[in-house]
A and B are shown apart, each in its own frame.
Chain A
Amino acid sequence: MSDMRYVVPRTLDEAVGAFAEAKGAARILAGGTDLLVQMRAGAVRPGLVIDIKKIAELTGIEETADGGFRIGGAVAGARLAEHPRFGKVWPGLLEAINLIGSTQVQGRASAGGNLCNGSPAADSVPAMVAAGAVATLQGPKGRREMPVEDVPAGPGRTNLQPGEILVGFILPPRPLGSGDAYLRMIPRTEMDIAVVGCGVNLTLKDGVCTAARVGLGAVAPTVLRVDAAAKALIGSRLDAAALDAAAAACRAACHPIDDKRGTIAYRTEVAGVLLKRAAGIAADRAKGA
């Protein structure tokens, strides 16, 4: 016998009400690909599981009039992959989201869950940070927005307030000549956790980089936004000197753990390598756009 309860609210208000009332004993269920594993391992024993997949706003994908996107927090990666426009506008972000787990996991796992799970190695998060995505949160005190890079607080922890639910992501409109890319280092080709992950999003005008954002994963307790690397790219023609400077800035931002997946020295070195390669792919896409 279990003393866990399961509810499927149809509205966000209902979900927030139930979540706040449970005072920390509840867990939000989106795709469940982290939550069910944690429950099985006994790492969490929620008194209440709130399934948010029947709430329209949490499961929608909307291209807004200004050319931006709104993605519900519980949208599965496979649904984003099937969207006719999303991968054309945000190919790097889509790649990052689709790198999470297997086909089976993609059928369920969401970018919202990936962010709220709080893993420093979450694949979608550096790409979201690079994209300039903003998370929409709703809690007992109403709605607010938070840049994605401000959401993680440490391994397994977020800056969401008690009772707050991640409603979705807002992606800004794309200026002409923009491209993004995400690369991760794993010792195999599929089904592994990033040793380092790097997302780059940039805009080119007449071959000159006019805007850039860089996100780095698995090299610190939280995913990082590396402004110094972006600064090194902006104003350049992405020549070797600019890429070297941006790579050095990424390496300087790293303070990773030393574990079986990678040593501190290795992760730090690879962060610079991935920055250069991801910037190259993003630039090619920007030129094609």
Chain B
Amino acid sequence: MNGNNLIQFEKVTKIYQAGDVETFAIHEVDLQIKRGEYVVISGPSGGGKSSILSVMGLLDKCTSGRYLFKGSDVTGMSRSELAKIRNTEMGFVFQSFNLIDTISVYDNVALPLRYRDDISAKEKDQRVKDALLNVGMDHRLKHLPAQLSGGQQQRVAVARAFVGSPSIILADEPTGNLDSKSAEIVMELLQKQFDSGVTICMVTHDPRYTTDATRAIHVFDGSIQSEEFRTPMGKAEIATA
């Protein structure tokens, strides 16, 4: 195993069962994501890209295979252990923003830090304010999510994703619900995080937002159909599964 691997899938399979019908959402996928990579996963609807992201983000368990995060096998971990990894190592950006309606912008961003004992209250406050400053939302601290536009809400969601200094940000169609201008802003924010050393893994349909990635993975019928490794300047290597 490569010590630089952040995420390692070994023959990971995810089956959804509906009555007697079994659907292979992920089929024996082998995948490694190294620290500092910017990976985009694309493919047709129902191809399994969101399922891969879901298992990768510990939101779902795989049916078979092994998943190593930072070299540790997470497949047998308890709920609380998984929650701790999500809380400290991962950041999430969803297509539908998933901000909590009833609390302010500030509290939404502070949520991942709220119950962390390793950070002082003062630092938590500073981090939240810095994160919101970073995404240009520091002037909307006390607003409720419903009082913001879609683009603004997603910027807040991005701030929430990186406020805990995660190792990886997992983004599921982050621009899917946004107009092109807002989408550009969100992508720039993700790029900024990548530039600062955070690993990015993003699911997207839109080919416009794959250019910044260091690797592009194409998924079809639950399997990786092709992988395209790139340098920041362009294409380097194409591997076909």
The answer on A and B forming one complex is no
Which residues of B are in contact with A by a Cβ distance under 8 Å? none
